[in-house]
Amino acid sequence: MSGHRDEHLDLCAAHVLGVLGDAERRELESHLAEGCPQCEAELRTLSGGATVLAMSVPQHRAPAAVRGRVLAAIEAEGASPAVEPVPRDARVMPLPHRRSAATWAWAAAAALLVVAGGVLWQRAQSLSRQLAEERASAEELRRALDEERRWAGLGAAPTARVVRLSPTPQGDRALAAQVLYDPASGRAVVVAERFVPPGTQAYELWAITAAGPTSLGLVRADASGRAVVRLENVSRGGEVAAFAVSLESAGGSPDPHRPSGPVVMLGKLAG
């Protein structure tokens, strides 16, 4: 806790590799909070080393299908949860009208056959591509639906709990939020009301475990102050004892394990 020791440099190395134990992490964090230019410089240097490791792996091309799935999933997530009932692969694809070869002069028939063969081949290729794209779209939609069902099932999970958050004395009395949390799957859905932060500030959600708080990210509300946030891996820091909301400057707390602004809401898990 007091001045810099060489052991802190070892902790910096474990930190950039993400292998610090809880006690060590707390020690390094409290040391850094006191301000240590040597450790800050060490962290910058060693982070570069970790990135070199990431780049040292044999290079492969990402499977092409993932891109479409990701883009479909974020479109589904960004839009209304209601899913269009007619799947995209059920759309009727109008086929282009084909001109009858009989209308052409016999004299041109031989040449035409060659050209038509090429055209038909190209059309077949184009239709195959369209079919492949439609199939990929259907697959994307199926995954999006599966994802929706997975989340819809959260409320029915036997281990799911509802945690109501109450405003603290530092918080606006109008704030309302509850968390549907399933410790078994580590998933949670947060529903927040009247989350309109003053000025450029932002509300940040925290999971509190025996090891301390872990940021679950900023709560982005719509113009009416309502937000519905889905979270995964909520219990990665250990068993969650409570959820909290802090009021932070824009961008959130610089420390993912400590709110920098006042805690404005708190809700403990019963029992």
Partner 1 sequence: MGRLPTMNESERDRRWMGGVAEGDSAALAALYDHYADLLYSLALRIVGSASDAEEVLQDTWMQVWRSARSYDAARGAVGAWLVTIARTRALDRLRSLGSRRRAETAASTEAVAEPPPPAPDPATGYARRVLRKDVASALTALAPQQRQVVEMAYFEGFSQTEIAARLNAPLGTVKSWTRQALAKLRERVPLEALP
- Pattern of binders to partner 1 over 88-107, x per CB under 8 A? --------------------
State the chain's maximal CA–CA distance in angstroms: 98
| β 161-167/263-268 pair status | antiparallel
Among 40, 75, 84, 222, binds partner 1 (CB under 8 A): 75
Q: Looking at residues 223 to 262 of the shown chain, list those that interact with partner 1 (rule: CB under 8 A).
A: 230, 232-233, 236, 251-252, 254, 256
Q: Smallest distance from the beta carbon of 97 to partner 1, in angstroms?
A: 35
Q: Which of 237, 233, 246, 251 is nearest to 204 (CA)?
A: 246
Q: Are 148 and 248 in contact (CB under 8 A)?
A: no
Among 73, 154, 157, 191, binds partner 1 (CB under 8 A): 73
Q: Smallest distance from the beta carbon of 150 to partner 1, in angstroms?
A: 12
Question: Cα(148)–Cα(144) distance, rounded to whole angstroms?
Answer: 6
Cβ neighbour number for residue 226 with a 10 Å cutoff: 14
166 membership: H or E segment, kind and range: strand 161-167
Q: Smallest distance from the beta carbon of 113 to partner 1, in angstroms?
A: 39
Instruction: For residue 40, state whether it binds partner 1 (rule: CB under 8 A).
Output: no
Q: Smallest distance from the beta carbon of 42 to partner 1, in angstroms?
A: 8
Residue 218 or 266 having the CB closest to partner 1 = 218
Q: Are 254 and 215 in contact (CB under 8 A)?
A: no
Q: Are 162 and 178 in contact (CB under 8 A)?
A: yes
Binding segment for partner 1 (CB under 8 A), chosen from 25-33, 115-123, 154-162, 216-224, is: 216-224
Q: Are 224 and 268 in contact (CB under 8 A)?
A: no
CA distances from 15 to 21, 82, 193, 252 (A): 9, 42, 37, 21
Among 4, 91, 98, 220, binds partner 1 (CB under 8 A): 220
The contact set with partner 1 (CB under 8 A) reads 9-10, 12-14, 16-19, 21, 45-63, 65-67, 69-71, 73-75, 77-78, 202, 215, 217-218, 220, 230, 232-233, 236, 251-252, 254, 256
